[in-house]
Amino acid sequence: MKSRVILFLLRLLPGVCFVLLWQILLRGNPQLIFYFGLPSKILAYIIAKTADGTLINDTYITLSEALIGFLIGNIIGTSMGLSLWFSNKLFKIYKPYIIALGSAPIFALAPLLIIWFGTGMFSKVMIAALSTFFVALFQAYSGAEQVDKNYIKLLKSMKASKMEVFKKVIAPSSIVWVSSAFKINVGFALLGAFVGEYISSNAGLGHLILVASGLFDISLVLTGVLMFMIIAIGFSYLVSRLESPIKKLIVKVL
């Protein structure tokens, strides 16, 4: 317990030193503050914008877009990836298309999605969903493919049907791959929401950063970046906590 406290303090030290140096070296130098911002100004923005509710609102909007997009992209991607296991032929046919679409920078499609789905939250949700979809699909299919052949042999020796092999072996065994897709996709979902907001929006952290950078208000830009980091950490933590309950659920339900 004591060593954990010490570790925590040691971890805090570099960050605190960095912020202090930043504050001390740049204070009283308006030119440098113009380029790099100032910790005390960031703090002031956080307090002021939390008080008037705009920061909370922007964070809430970006988080909702990323979260909903994450859920849609991962659920559809994972179920399609796993179901491709049933037909190897189908996967072979669709593989080049999946690779082509998966390797295309989805964010290049973002302007298109905004034209199709409007400038509101929905288009951002779709960008986040699309950018997570292919990672989820690939990971799920790879997970299903990489299952230990002995597990399948065991089920076959019990005369299990293909559906039973899927339920008892493929689904629980791929969960490790699937959950690693979830972890990767936290970043992609947030990036998707950000890109959408950066292109066209009237709210959200991407909007905040776009407006602030237009005004050359670096401290406000960094306030937005800091909020992104906080969301990403919380989001990742949530996802990492879900792996083992999902696994248990799958074993019990299927």
Which chain residues interact with other proteins by CB under 8 A? 148, 150-151, 153-161, 164, 168-169, 172-173, 175, 247, 251
Amino acid at 13: L
Could you tell me the CA-to-CA distances from 87 to 134, 188, 245 in Å, in that order?
Answer: 18, 28, 29
Other C-beta atoms within 10 Å of 134: how many? 22
To the nearest whole angstrom, how small is the minimum distance from the Cβ of residue 150 to other proteins?
A: 5
**Tokens matching residue 31:** 């030119």
Nearer to other proteins, 88 or 161 (CB): 161
Q: Pick between residue 173 and residue 219 the one whose CB is nearest to other proteins.
A: 173
* In the complex, least distance from residue 164 CB atom to other proteins, rounded to whole angstroms: 6
Q: Least distance to other proteins from the beta carbon of 141, Å?
A: 20
Distance, in Å, from the CA atom of 127 to the CA atom of 129, rounded to the nearest integer, reads 5
- Nearest in space to 194 (alpha carbons), one of 228, 221, 231, 223: 228
Backbone angles phi, psi at 105, to 5 degrees: -65, 105
Give the shortest CB-95-to-other proteins separation in angstroms: 25
Q: How far apart are CA 207 and CA 215, in angstroms?
A: 12
User: In the complex with other proteins, which residue's Cβ is closer, 50 or 161?
Assistant: 161
Smallest distance from the beta carbon of 81 to other proteins, in angstroms? 19
Nearer to other proteins, 31 or 150 (CB): 150
Closest separation in Å from C-beta 254 to other proteins? 9
**Residue 95 vs 153, nearer CB to other proteins:** 153
Comparison of 154 and 239: residue with beta carbon closer to other proteins: 154
| Total residue count of the chain as it appears in this document | 254
Nearest to 77 by CA among 100, 102, 96: 102
* Angle formed at CA 236 by CA 133 and CA 46, multiple of 5 degrees: 115
Q: ∠ CA 50-54-238 to the nearest 5 degrees?
A: 70
